[in-house]
Amino acid sequence: MSDSWIVGINPVEGALSNDASRVREVLVEQGQRNARVQELATRAKALNIPVHHRSRDELDRVSGEARHQGIVARYEAPPMGSENDIERLLTEAGQNALVLVLDGVTDPHNLGACLRSAAAAGATMVIVPKDRAVGLTPVVRRASAGGADRVPLIAATNLARALRTLKDAGVWITGLAGDTETSVYSIDMRGPVAVVLGSEGEGMRRLTRETCDFVAQIPMPGVMESLNVSVATGIVLFEALRQRSEKR
């Protein structure tokens, strides 16, 4: 386990509401008058979490690039899951397994937004390569709006091996790419499924793509050639939910 900083009003509120036992301290900007910040400080004290008032410069320092809005929390983050957790999570989800695989998303805002969509869709887990993705930084946590703490994040040492573990467990895998005629709306996403999206610039790596059962695109009649990876993630995950809600 390691300490990290949760930055901003909504992320701190999410940590206090969902995982207060891991919050080690809360820092509030000196002179801060925002009512929500004050309410969070009061709630933290009621939970016996130390609350300290610090200068804006100190909050800026621990927040990095993230906008802190006058409040941050030091959080004892659990370690990310490993490939050893995949089978257990799939077993717990059963036929409702919905897995998001991100092959090399390096922008923290994009990863955070993907985690937010995955949490909103009730995804079983999100799998990322251990060495080709941004970690759970303060920016990622803030962009996820609490999603980082609501969906299991698996750091796979070998992504192709993790995908084979999914397939061996009966999960059908669909990768997204722009150079195919198959529409994602024609893929049956009922039952245990995984969707794979590649990095912001290069897309899926070759071996990742070859491991997929299907490769599909999101049809775009407009003039744009591609979508932001977090937007595409939301579209595909909620298409899966739409299909699952329909009567067979």
Instruction: Supply 188's token pair.
Output: 């049956």
Question: What letter would DSSP give residue 64?
Answer: T
CB 6 within 8 A of CB 15: yes
- Confirm or deny that 81 is annotated as ligand binding: no
- Confirm or deny that 218 is annotated as ligand binding: yes
Please count the other Cβ atoms lying within 10 Å of the Cβ belonging to residue 125: 24
196, containing H or E segment: strand 193-198
CB 161 within 8 A of CB 200: no
Measured CA to CA, the distance from residue 88 to residue 237 in angstroms comes to 21
174 has which bridge partners? 195, 214
Please count the other Cβ atoms lying within 10 Å of the Cβ belonging to residue 43: 17
- Of the candidates 16, 20, 26, the residue with the CA atom closest to the CA atom of residue 54: 26
118, containing H or E segment: helix 108-120
- Of the candidates 171, 134, 124, 173, the residue with the CA atom closest to the CA atom of residue 155: 134
Which residues carry a binding-site annotation for S-adenosyl-L-methionine?
A: 198, 218, 227
Which residues carry a binding-site annotation?
A: 198, 218, 227
